[in-house]
Structure 1
Amino acid sequence: MNFYTFAKNVVKIGLSPVYRIKASGKEHFPKEGGVLICANHINNLDPLAVGTTSPRDIHFMAKEELFRAPVLKGIMPKINAFPVKRGLSDREALRKGLAILKDDRVLGLFPEGTRSKNGELGEGLSGAGFFALRSQAHIVPCAVIGPYSFLGKVKVVYGKPIDFQPYRDQKVSADVATKVIMAEIQKLISENK
Structure 2
Amino acid sequence: MKNDCYLSRFSKLFIVPLCHVIKPLFRSFFKVKAYGLENIPEDSYLVAPNHRSYLDPPVLNAVFPKHLTFIAKEELFRAPILGILLPHMSTIPIKRGVGDLQTLKLALELLHAGCRLCVFPEGTRAKPGEFLKPKLGIGLLAVKSKKPVLPVYIDGTDKVLPRGKKIPSIGHTIRVFIGKPKRYDFLEDNPKGYKVASNMIMEEIKKLSKQSTEPPLL
Q: Does 1:78 align with 2:88?
A: yes
Tell me how far apart the structure 1 counterparts of residues 17 and 76 of structure 2 sit (CA, whole Å). Answer: 20
Aligned residues: 191
Percent identity over paired residues: 34
Which sections of structure 1, spanning at least 5 residues, go unmatched? Answer: none
Range with greater deviation from structure 2 (87-96 or 4-13): 4-13
Tell me how far apart the structure 1 counterparts of residues 15 and 187 of structure 2 sit (CA, whole Å). Answer: 34
Tell me how far apart the structure 1 counterparts of residues 26 and 67 of structure 2 sit (CA, whole Å). Answer: 19
Aligned residue for 2:47?
Answer: 37
Tell me how far apart the structure 1 counterparts of residues 190 and 93 of structure 2 sit (CA, whole Å). Answer: 31
Q: Does 1:98 align with 2:118?
A: no
CA contact (8 A) 1:63 1:84 kept: yes
Partner of 1:166, secondary structure, is coil
Instruction: Give every structure 1 segment of 4 or more consecutive aligned residues whose post-TM-superposition deviation is greater than 2 Å.
Output: 1-17, 69-75, 147-150, 163-172
- The Cα shift of 1:178 comes to 0.1
CA RMSD of aligned residues (A): 2.3
Which sections of structure 2, spanning at least 5 residues, go unmatched? Answer: 1-11, 161-168, 214-218
When you count strand as a share of all residues, which structure comes out higher?
1
Instruction: From 8, 13, 34, give the equivalent of 1:23.
Output: 34
Range with greater deviation from structure 2 (125-134 or 139-148): 139-148
Q: Does 1:62 align with 2:72?
A: yes
- The Cα shift of 1:12 comes to 5.1
Q: Does 1:166 align with 2:186?
A: yes
CA contact (8 A) 2:48 2:119 kept: yes
The TM-score normalised by the length of structure 2 is 0.79
CA contact (8 A) 2:68 2:90 kept: yes
CA contact (8 A) 2:50 2:131 kept: yes
Distance 1:168-1:58 versus aligned 2 partners, 3 A rule: farther
Tell me how far apart the structure 2 counterparts of residues 184 and 7 of structure 1 sit (CA, whole Å). Answer: 33
Q: Does 1:150 align with 2:170?
A: yes
Distance 1:69-1:10 versus aligned 2 partners, 3 A rule: farther
Distance 1:93-1:86 versus aligned 2 partners, 3 A rule: same
Q: Does 1:123 align with 2:123?
A: no
CA contact (8 A) 1:3 1:78 kept: no
Tell me how far apart the structure 2 counterparts of residues 47 and 192 of structure 1 sit (CA, whole Å). Answer: 23
Range with greater deviation from structure 2 (155-164 or 165-174): 165-174
Please list the CA deviations of residues 36-79 of structure 1 after superposition, one character each: whole Å capped at 9, or x if unmatched: 10000011101111111112210000111221233333321221
